[in-house]
């Protein structure tokens, strides 16, 4: 069966650079917060059109650190989509707040601004919660509707996090999410468009004071002097080896985003109207972390593709608000009908920066036959 994500071709392309980088780091012996970490942070900030970038241990910590910096309280409401990975919601109760689940747009699968506005109004009028933070997700690699969402946040005095775990590198009208969000978070999990060879994460921001605070929080709350602690923090530092790997990958990242968009265009042309193909927001450029379509008989569809040697995946089969640990948290007025509908129909196909040729044609033929 063909790979769902072709990391081997990327690794072969970078092998000499990776070997030299890893050997250098091992020889120098600065395995935690070595010079490659600082270099990576500078480059991430520049790439993401922000003033500051801080790496951390993983994408979940990247979400948790700003909530810690903002001192989330018990009655603080944090508005999150339910159609996403668990990290987006789990950091909220773990750090003292209450997640309020918001519906998604039926075409982009990103947070619906109308549902968000309705949820905020409900919280203000019907509960003892205080609206505090919005976490919008760049789902499947494309930007959320940040102009609309940030306008709501400004009007309500809310902080905005762009959860760009899947979408770092996406843009909207030429701007990265940092143009609108207080914080953009990144995951470097290996399957992400910009992935390392283990766990890793980062935040980017234009706020110097917030960056300084998070720099302390990620390193046990340490202050200016070593072993002098100004606050309670985390052990959330990126290994130097992972930073070196990411620097090599960052060199080719823009080229890979172009490759992913060419592959997405080829999929759309090949499928025509036989399945519901992804819709990218007007003015948006996706990193295509996943290429996700909708089908009627998902189980039957996946079985037929499996017989043809084509792997598939489902992101996400059970929305978070329907999972047992989250069942008692509030949802937007009217429920989340779009989320629940999409969760039963979506299926993701092979996608990476090297998809094309016969490998992609095999996928296209298999999809067309499966729905014939």
- pLDDT value at position 74? 86
CA 108 to chain centre: 14
**Where does residue 270 rank: exposed (0-12), middle (13-18), buried (19+ CB within 10 A)?**
middle
Q: How far is CA 101 from CA 117, 319, 366, in A?
A: 12, 10, 36
**Can you tell me which residue has the tokens 């995946």?**
313
pLDDT at 1: 82
What is the C-alpha to C-alpha distance for residues 60 and 190, in angstroms, rounded to an integer?
14
Crossing angle of the two packed helices 208-217 and 59-69, in degrees rounded to 10: 110
How would DSSP label each residue in 40-90?
Answer: HHHHHHHHTT-SEEEEES-HHHHHHHHHHHTT--TTEEEEEESSS-THHHH
Strands (E), the chain: 52-56, 76-81, 98-102, 130-137, 159-163, 171-172, 183-187, 201-205, 284-285, 291-294, 346-349
List all residues 6 or more positions away from 25 whose beta carbon is below 8 Å from its beta carbon: 31, 34, 36, 240, 241, 244
- What is the C-alpha separation between 246 and 24, in angstroms, rounded? 15
Fold agreement between 7-250 and 253-370: no
Sign of the Cα pseudo-torsion (364, 370, 371, 372, in order): positive
Which candidate, 14, 38, 35, 63, places its Cα nearest to that of 201?
Answer: 63
Q: Please give the DSSP secondary-structure letter assigned to residue 171.
A: E
The segments of the chain whose pLDDT lies below 50 read: none
Element (H, E) at 8: helix 7-28
pTM: 0.97
**Tokens found for residue 139:** 């789902």
Rounded-to-integer distance, Cα 276 and Cα 299, Å: 16
User: Residue 311, SS3?
Assistant: coil
Look at residue 183 in the predicted model and tell me its pLDDT. 98
Residue 291 pairs with which residues in a beta bridge?
Answer: 349
pLDDT on residue 126? 81
Tokens 């990290």 correspond to what residue?
A: 87
C-alpha distance from residue 342 to each of 74, 85, 106, 346 (Å): 31, 15, 8, 6
Report the C-alpha gap between 182 and 207 in whole angstroms: 7
Domain range annotation of the chain: 7-250, 253-370
Residue 136 Cα distances to 162, 189, 300, 354, angstroms: 5, 19, 32, 29
The CATH architecture to which 7-250 belongs is 3-Layer(aba) Sandwich (3.40)
Pick 253-370's CATH classification: 1.10.10.60, 3.90.1150.10, 3.10.180.10, 3.30.70.100.
Answer: 3.90.1150.10
- The answer, yes or no, to whether the previous bond of 316 is cis (omega within 30 of 0) is yes
Contacts 24+ apart (CB under 8 A), 250-253: 250/40, 250/43, 250/44, 250/47, 250/194, 251/17, 252/10, 252/13, 252/14, 253/47, 253/169, 253/193, 253/194
């Amino acid at each position: 069966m063909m790979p769902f994500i072709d990391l081997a071709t990327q690794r072969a392309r970078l092998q000499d650079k990776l070997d030299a980088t890893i050997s250098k780091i091992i020889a120098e012996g600065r395995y935690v917060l070595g010079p490659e970490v600082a270099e990576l942070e500078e480059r991430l900030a520049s790439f993401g059109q922000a003033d500051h970038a801080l790496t951390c241990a993983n994408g979940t910590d990247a979400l948790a650190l700003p909530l810690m910096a903002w001192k989330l309280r018990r009655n603080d409401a944090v508005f999150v989509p339910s159609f996403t990975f668990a990290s987006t919601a789990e950091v909220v109760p773990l750090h003292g707040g209450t997640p309020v689940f918001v519906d998604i747009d039926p075409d982009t699968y990103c947070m619906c601004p109308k549902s968000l506005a309705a949820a905020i109004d409900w919280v203000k009028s019907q509960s003892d919660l205080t609206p505090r933070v919005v976490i919008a997700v760049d789902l499947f690699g494309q930007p959320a509707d940040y102009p609309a969402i940030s306008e709501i946040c400004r009007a309500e005095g809310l902080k905005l996090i762009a959860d760009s775990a899947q979408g770092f590198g996406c843009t909207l009208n030429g701007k990265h999410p940092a143009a609108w969000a207080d914080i953009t978070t990144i995951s470097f999990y290996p399957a992400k468009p910009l992935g390392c060879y283990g766990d890793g994460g980062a935040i980017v921001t234009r706020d110097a004071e917030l960056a300084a605070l998070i720099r302390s929080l990620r390193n046990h709350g340490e202050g200016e002097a070593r072993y002098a602690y100004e606050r309670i923090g985390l052990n959330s530092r990126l290994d130097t080896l992972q930073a070196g790997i990411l620097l090599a990958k960052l060199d080719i990242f823009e080229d890979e985003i172009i490759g992913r968009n060419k592959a997405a265009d080829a999929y759309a042309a090949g499928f025509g109207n036989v399945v519901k193909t992804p819709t990218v927001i007007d003015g948006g450029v996706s990193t295509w972390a996943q290429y996700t379509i909708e089908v009627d008989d998902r189980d039957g569809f996946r079985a037929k593709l499996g017989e043809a040697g084509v792997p598939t995946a489902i992101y996400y089969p059970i929305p978070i608000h329907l999972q047992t640990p989250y069942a008692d948290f509030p949802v937007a007025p009217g429920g989340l009908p779009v989320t629940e509908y999409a969760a039963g129909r979506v299926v993701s196909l092979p996608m990476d920066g090297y998809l094309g040729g016969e490998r992609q044609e095999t996928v296209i033929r298999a999809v067309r036959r499966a729905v014939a």
